[in-house]
């Protein structure tokens, strides 16, 4: 029984443009509602600014913009997923986040080649679960860029 748990990936599911993405739960610190964003001058378009979260100044990345999707006004369902990668805390702005699920690792396939150039390198794999297609993202690649390291 314990072996099966090792092969499961526990993820938080979030939405962008009616597609569902997944991020490993162990990299997620919290999920917040969008709060006041302080703009930071001279940053990339996907870096929306910083947010003071319980005394910690956290950079915010709009994943829509990061993935080359059309920007949208934030709504009541907009969420900020606070993730921690290699001692860096960053907030990812997403359309919505509401599910925690286990994905059997046998269900995760390598990313298809034609997903879109912009998202290339950001995707760890794709899981097909009961008519749901989940795109498992690679946080290290999303956050490992000079423009974010400079924040």
Model pTM? 0.85
What CATH number should be reported for the domain holding residue 28? 2.40.50.180
Mean pLDDT, range 91-117, rounded to an integer = 84
The whole-number pLDDT of residue 116 equals: 53
Q: How many domains does the chain have?
A: 1
Rounded Cα–Cα distance for residues 30 and 141 (Å): 20
pLDDT in tens, 110-143: 877 655 545 567 888 899 888 889 999 988 877 7
- What totals of helices (H) and strands (E) does the chain contain, helices first? 4, 11
Rounded Cα–Cα distance for residues 10 and 80 (Å): 19
The whole-number pLDDT of residue 146 equals: 58
In this structure, are residues 23 and 137 in contact, taking their beta carbons and an 8 Å threshold?
A: yes
The whole-number pLDDT of residue 1 equals: 42
Of these ranges, 107-111, 114-118, 147-151, the one predicted with the greatest mean pLDDT is 107-111
Candidates 37, 57, 55, 54; CA nearest to 46 is: 37
Name the residue range of residue 91's domain: 2-149
The whole-number pLDDT of residue 121 equals: 73
The whole-number pLDDT of residue 5 equals: 45
């Amino acid at each position: 029984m314990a072996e099966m748990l090792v092969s499961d990936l526990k993820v938080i599911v979030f939405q962008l443009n009616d597609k569902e993405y997944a991020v490993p739960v162990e990299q997620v610190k919290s999920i917040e509602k969008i709060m006041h964003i302080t703009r930071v001058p001279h940053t990339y378009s996907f870096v929306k600014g910083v947010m003071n979260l319980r005394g910690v100044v956290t950079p915010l990345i709009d994943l829509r913009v990061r993935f080359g999707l059309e920007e949208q006004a934030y709504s009541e369902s907009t969420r900020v997923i606070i993730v921690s990668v290699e001692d860096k805390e960053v907030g990812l702005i997403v359309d919505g986040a509401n599910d925690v699920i286990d994905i059997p690792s046998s269900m995760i396939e390598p990313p298809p080649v034609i997903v879109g150039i912009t998202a290339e390198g950001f995707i760890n794999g794709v899981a097909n679960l009961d008519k749901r297609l989940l795109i498992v993202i690679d946080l290290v690649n999303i956050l490992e860029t000079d423009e974010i390291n400079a924040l």
